[in-house]
Structure 1
Amino acid sequence: MIDIVFSESACGSLKVAQHYGKGKYQDGCIGVFVSHTDGSKPTKEEVETARREAKEKARLAWESATPLGGKTTDIYGFNLVLSIGDISENQPGIKRKQTLEHLYSVYPNNEGHQAADEILNRANEDLKMVQERAVAGEVLRIWYSNQPDEMCGFYWFMGQLNQWKVHGGQVFIVKLPEWEVDNKENIVRKNSWGEVAPEEWHRYLALQKSVVAVFIQSCASHWKELQVENAPLRAILNGQLVSASEKLYDDFIIQEIAAEGEEFQEAMIVGRVLGKYQLGISDSWVAFRIEEMLHEGKLEVVTTFTKDMPSYHRVLKNVLSNYKHI
């Protein structure tokens, strides 16, 4: 069976899940991070306690896991970030490369161009291989969620299957639940398959279901409509994947800036928007929208970032008296 995911993290986790829990657990080196809210340094005893707890947690996870089986060569990850930018191309090309370069430009040492090249080349190579295998009759399983990139990847890939004339009986889908209850009766929400640990994947096989040809055709048709609209963003609204303005997430960013003093760490704003609202967007997109606010004169740069850090590691200043109303 061919497994399809839409992020690097999901791809890596799923590959580990194939053999996770197989054989005797091997105690290895585990790193931990311990911090105090008051900034004080943790004691050696605290660090050692945290390390022991982490090792025990890892052992229990291994011993309770059910290996998925299969080969890593059956897993393909298309990390194309299709919720952002131009999607008019039927296959990843120069326009997708430009979008990826733009997104990764916030990172240092010109990493964006290299990353975009690698992602695009691998995606096209993998797409060709998947097409050959699918046309030959192999079964596919697609893992997706309400996270914008994964949902866009899902619709895009359905469009590919429709072009290849793959029939519904070959295709299975697994959608990540919006929430779950853990063994301690706590509500757990995962934003995407990239947040699923290797020992957890087997639990979701029960959600697997087959699709019919008309479903593939319907998804392909909707993706074609989105391609024609070719908006700056795509997002899930009321359960539907729709085109959206580049300003869609601005209110969340503005709200966090408004809660700060006159000067603030941009990286803190980026982190809070991602963590607090769980919008399923990248740090790059938040940084770009803040950059736009700088261009509009709503913010000013106080200190610039160092060359080995992402561009949003700097101090900014709110130059408007009431940012909530901009």
Structure 2
Amino acid sequence: MIEVLFGASEAASMKMAKGTVISTRTNGPTSMWSVGRKRLPKNTKGSWMEGTSDEVICLEFKLDIGDIQKTDVTYREELQRLRNLLVEEGAIRAWYSNAPYSICGFYHLCSIVKHYENEVLAIKLPEYQVRQDVLISYQNWGEVASEEFSSFFVL
């Protein structure tokens, strides 16, 4: 499954969620010193996600901090990698929030994937989550720990 996120921090967290093996390999703007496994590690009770960090795409527009006329090389490389994966892979899962950069990125992603036959799943970050007797408020996916991503499938 292709995972698309719209900020460097959240993409790095997703890469960690999809990878638990130490390596010296890097990929993309949010390179991690880990690569993924195809299967979940034992005894994690769903706290990690299947797949590899190669399946994570970071379409970071940086619209909230820069000139929208200037897109950098990294963004273009990630966009090309997304297009290649759309041809090779199956479904795509977009992780977005109410943050302006995330909504803009999500709408742009929708304009891209409408030209492909791939199944598209979207997971919107809830404004808050209740855990036991605590209320947790989120602004963007960058605030979510890597081991918590899979918990949002059941919401």
Q: TM-score range by the shorter chain?
A: 0.7 to 0.9
Q: Higher relative CO (CA 8 A, sep ≥ 6), structure 1 or 2?
A: 2
Q: Which residue in the other structure is 1:139 paired with?
A: 91
Q: Which residue in the other structure is 1:313 paired with?
A: none
- How far, CA to CA, are the matches of 2:121 and 2:47 in structure 1? 20
Partner of 2:60, secondary structure, is coil
Partner of 1:14, secondary structure, is helix
Q: How do 1:1-326 residues align onto structure 2 when only pairs under 5 Å count?
A: 1-19=1-19, 66-83=47-64, 87=68, 95-97=69-71, 120-136=72-88, 138-162=90-114, 165-167=115-117, 170-183=119-132, 185-207=133-155
> Structure 1 unaligned runs (5+)?
23-61, 88-94, 98-119, 208-326
Q: Is the contact between residue 99 and residue 140 of structure 2 (CA under 8 Å) also seen in structure 1?
A: yes
Segments of 4+ moved more than 3 angstroms: 62-65, 83-87
- How far, CA to CA, are the matches of 1:124 and 1:19 in structure 2? 24
- How far, CA to CA, are the matches of 1:171 and 1:63 in structure 2? 27
Q: TM-score, length-normalised on structure 1?
A: 0.38
Q: Which structure has the larger Rg?
A: 1
Partner of 1:96, secondary structure, is coil
Structure (1 or 2) with the greater strand fraction: 2
Cα 1:70/1:136, change in 2 over 3 Å: closer
**Deviation for aligned residue 1:15:** 1.1
Aligned length: 134
**Deviation for aligned residue 1:86:** 5.6
- How far, CA to CA, are the matches of 2:74 and 2:90 in structure 1? 21
Q: TM-score, length-normalised on structure 2?
A: 0.75
Cα 1:63/1:136, change in 2 over 3 Å: closer
- How far, CA to CA, are the matches of 2:2 and 2:142 in structure 1? 18
> Structure 2 unaligned runs (5+)?
22-42
